[in-house]
Homo-oligomer: A and B are copies of this chain.
Amino acid sequence: MNGTQDPSASGADAPRRSDATRGAILAAARERFASDGYERATIRAIAKDAHIDPSMVMRYYRNKEGLFAAAVDIDLRLPDLTGANRRRDAGRILVEHFLDVWEDNEVLTALLRVGVTNPAGAERMQGILRDQLLPVARQACPDPEQAPWRSALMASQLLGLALTRYVLRMPPATGLARAEVVAWLAPTIQRYLTAPNP
C-alpha cells in the first residue's frame, strides 16, 4: 500500500522503467475517479490528462478495474493511540487526523464516490476501514470484543462528515471551521470509542 506519491514504490515488485508515466496515469486517475466516479471517469479522459495514449493505460493496468485498484491503494497511517494520555484524547486525535487526510488526499474522495456505486469499490473501502480503523478501536476501546461495532459507529460519523463536507460539499458543512468541526465531533468519536454501553 502506497500513498499518493512515489510511484516507484507501488507494490513489492522491483522498480520498473518509466514509472514516471505510471505515476502520471495514477495521479490523473485519482483526480478523475474522485471528481466523476467510476463510470464517468473514462480511460480516454484519464489518458488525456496524463498526456499519454489511452492504450498505455491498458498496457500498464490491464483494464479499468486494475487501474482503479492501483489508484486507490492507500495507507491511512492512523496514529497510535496507546498510552493513557492519548487514549483520553483519542476522539480529538482521530478527528484531526481524518480532516488532515481528507483535505489533501483525493484518493479517499475517489474511494467514497466509487464505493457508493460500485460493489468492488465498496468492498475496498470496507477493507481499508477494517484493516486500519478496527485495530485502532481494538487498542483504545474498553473491551476489544466491542471493537467491531464501536469502529462502525465511528465510521458512520467520520464518513458522514466526509460525505457532507468533501463529496456533497453542502454549504453549511463546508462553512464550518476546522476547529469547530473538531470541537463538535471529537466528543462524539470519544464516546463511541470509550463510553460504557448505554
Contact = CB atoms under 8 A, between A and B. Distances in A.
A148 to B, nearest CB: 4
Contact of A168 (B36, B122, B149, B164): B122
A153, A169, A192 pick with most chain B CB within 10 angstroms: A153
- By DSSP majority rule, is chain A's interface helix, strand, loop, or mixed? helix
Interface string A173-198: 10110001001110110011000001
Interface stretch (A1-9, A46-54, A63-71, A154-162): A154-162
A167 interface: yes
Interface stretch (A11-19, A77-85, A99-107, A110-118): A110-118
A171 B40 contact: no
B170 A155 contact: yes
A37 B117 contact: yes
A116, A148, A183 pick with most chain B CB within 10 angstroms: A116
Given A122-B168, A129-B170, 4 more contacts: A116-B168, A148-B175, A158-B160, A187-B198
